[in-house]
Amino acid sequence: MNHGISSTDQAATRAAVLQANGAFYEAFSNADVAAMTELWAKHAHVACFHPAAPAVLGREAVLASFRQILRHAPPGRMRCEEAVVTVLDGTAIVTCYEGSGEQPAHLAATNVFVLEEGAWRMVHHHAGVLAKPIPRTTSSSLVN
């Protein structure tokens, strides 16, 4: 809702959230465990749904699941497309589609971020399998 926050500040906030969201896909693409560890919230309780899998709850379990995934990830870029950012004061929700390499996006993702110590950190990730992959578009992000 951002009562009383200027549109310039809102744009800066959205840009910061999109940057945090981008850092997640960058860490994924580079199989960078240290970056993945850094970007998850350190104080708030975190949770993650990997595609088609049950909930992973808590920072240690979530990071262990990513270490496992990144160790076995096929080489190639994990893309995030059509990102839409909603900022709710100190929390932000990003919806987007995820694709690997040059393939059409095959996953729908919800990423939630929380502002901790001035940084937008990931507090929740939910990736679900799409029945029909989303063709690639030229737009990389949208705001509302």
Applying CB under 8 A, which residues contact its own copies? 1, 43-45, 47, 49, 51-55, 57-58, 82, 84, 86, 88-91, 93, 95, 97, 108, 110, 112, 114, 116, 123-124, 126-131, 134, 144
* Smallest separation (angstroms) from its own copies to the CB of 75: 24
* Smallest separation (angstroms) from its own copies to the CB of 111: 10
How far apart are the C-alpha atoms of 33 and 88, rounded to whole Å?
29
Backbone φ, ψ for residue 138 (5° rounding): -90, -25
Helix (H) or strand (E) segment spanning residue 86: strand 78-88
Q: Are the C-beta atoms of 126 and 49 separated by less than 8 Å?
A: yes
* Smallest separation (angstroms) from its own copies to the CB of 18: 15
The residue among 5 and 88 lying less far from its own copies, judged by its C-beta, is 88
* Smallest separation (angstroms) from its own copies to the CB of 130: 6
The residue among 15 and 129 lying less far from its own copies, judged by its C-beta, is 129
Burial 105-134, CB ≥16 within 10 A → b, else e: bbbbbebbbbbeeeebbbbbbbbeeeeeeb
